[in-house]
Amino acid sequence: MDINKLREDIALQFMDEDQAGVKIENDFRSLETYDSLTGMAILTIIQDEYGVEIPVDEYRKLSSVRALFDYIQSKKNE
């Protein structure tokens, strides 16, 4: 799994003006166009593309691409 691919997948869930603001280490929830639909789209992408289902309560604790990447990696290694 490639963290840059994950960043791109997540960035595509945002409106054009915020896509460049999705960085590996920053809080993507702080971007202006982040909302609950964006969050659901990110969860769906992670489940469909990476085969990992993240419970909503766990997802709420993960606010950067790095945190999501680390979570996905930990579940893949179980």
Give the containing element (helix H, strand E) for 47. Answer: helix 36-50
Question: What range defines the domain where residue 66 resides?
Answer: 3-76
Residue (of 39, 73, 69) closest to 56 by Cα position: 39
Q: Domain of 64: which CATH number?
A: 1.10.1200.10
**Count of the separate structural domains present in the chain:** 1
Which tens digit of pLDDT belongs to each residue from 1-50? 899 999 999 999 998 878 999 999 999 999 999 999 999 999 999 999 99
Q: Are 31 and 21 in contact (CB under 8 A)?
A: yes
pTM (predicted TM-score): 0.91
Please, are residues 11 and 19 in contact by the beta-carbon 8 Å criterion? yes
Positive or negative: CA dihedral 26, 28, 30, 32: positive
pLDDT digits (tens, 9 = 90+) for 53-77: 999 999 999 999 999 999 999 998 8
